[in-house]
Chain A
Amino acid sequence: DQQVKQNSPSLSVQEGRISILNCDYTNSMFDYFLWYKKYPAEGPTFLISISSIKDKNEDGRFTVFLNKSAKHLSLHIVPSQPGDSAVYFCAASAAGTYKYIFGTGTRLKVLA
């Protein structure tokens, strides 16, 4: 039973446009969510996080939105750049725990 799902294995976007990556979760105990970016032959790099007390968190070109009632979060990248081409993982954890549950990732390709 996959508690964190990224249903789109891949996404292609033109440079300068918006990239929207989606993530759904099933466990209502999750209260902290993160996005990681991963380039080939490197480890995942932390990108942005959001606590369940918020519905939006922004960091430069990256914004994460959280819809608790729908158990859905999304990552918006505006404007998209070729260097953003990578695999993006969402992860979730429950209060009082250390364990992250990762989604299976979405491969983003930004076309120049």
Chain B
Amino acid sequence: DAGVIQSPRHEVTEMGQEVTLRCKPISGHNSLFWYRQTMMRGLELLIYFNNNVPIDDSGMPEDRFSAKMPNASFSTLKIQPSEPRDSAVYFCASSPGTRTGSNQPQHFGDGTRLSIL
């Protein structure tokens, strides 16, 4: 079975450039999550979608970050303009959970390692 697929696996770009990270959730999963992992803050939730609708974006650091989910099989996380402090590993996860939670584990992709020079 195909798991959560993220692309690219690695991204190196210069400060000020636009960065787009992509995610394909597991088919049939209706919840999608974007996380960021850093040494300082560990794994933190950026945004959560349920049935393609953003439910909670309180973790998005600032307006430079945006996320979309145009359909059930695709989501993007965009950073514009990028800054060196955005360097981190970004994970996408999906689950069959309902909007209010149904004790279903989230399944993670292998992440995108982002380096902003």
Q: Report how many residues on chain A are interfacial, defined by Cβ distance under 8 Å.
A: 24
User: Contact flags (1/0) for B87-105 with A, using CB distance below 8 Å?
Assistant: 0000101010101110101
A34 to B14, CA, bound (A): 37
- By a CB distance below 8 angstroms, the chain B residues around A32 are 101, 103
* B42-A103 in contact (CB<8A): yes
Q: CA of A74 to CA of B109 in the docked complex: distance in angstroms? A: 25
Given A42-B110, A43-B4, A99-B48: A51 in contact with B103 (beta carbons within 8 A): yes
The reply to whether B103 and A99 form a contact with Cβ atoms under 8 Å apart is no
Question: Of A36, A43, A44, A97, which is within 8 A of B101 by CB?
Answer: A97
Binding site for A on B (CB under 8 A): 4, 31, 42-45, 48, 50, 55-56, 91, 93, 95, 97, 99-101, 103, 105-111
Q: Can you list 8 A-B pairs, Cβ within 8 angstroms, ordered by A?
A: A32-B101, A36-B108, A43-B109, A45-B108, A49-B103, A97-B100, A98-B55, A99-B56
